[in-house]
Amino acid sequence: MRVLLDVHPKVRCGPETRILPRILHLSTQIVGKPEMLRLADAGITRDTIDAAFLQFIRAIIFRSGTPAERYCVKDPFLDTVMNFLFEIFPNSKFILMIRDGRAVAHSIVR
């Protein structure tokens, strides 16, 4: 699917970053957990954390290839952090691709 989207002159998907799922998994360990209380004691708010993740994600996406009008990220396992992505990218569009489970299993094993 990424290849099909990359053909469009206004869209750039590029290869899987492999780092975004890891970084976003970290967000689930910080946001909404007891860790937030410790961070609040240090003066770090949820808004600060959201802004930091937003800037990091943007840097990875924008700097990983040529500029484009629209950007696409096709990393596996981002579905587990969709609520967080909706919060920090409120104007974004998300497409959920449904694939044959056998193809998914084969892709993961590779």
The answer to whether the CB of 23 falls within 8 A of the CB of 57 is yes
Look up the CATH superfamily of 2-109: P-loop containing nucleotide triphosphate hydrolases (3.40.50.300)
| Residues counted in the chain | 110
Class of residue 30 by CB neighbours under 10 A (exposed 0-12, middle 13-18, buried 19+): middle
- Degrees (nearest 5) of the Cα angle 92, 78, 72? 45
pLDDT in tens, 6-41: 889 999 988 889 999 999 999 888 887 788 999 999
Q: Taking Cα atoms as reference points, which of 76, 71, 87 lies closest to residue 28?
A: 87
**Residues with catalytic annotation?**
16
Model confidence over 43-98: pLDDT tens digits?
Answer: 999 999 999 999 999 999 999 989 999 999 988 888 889 999 999 999 999 887 78
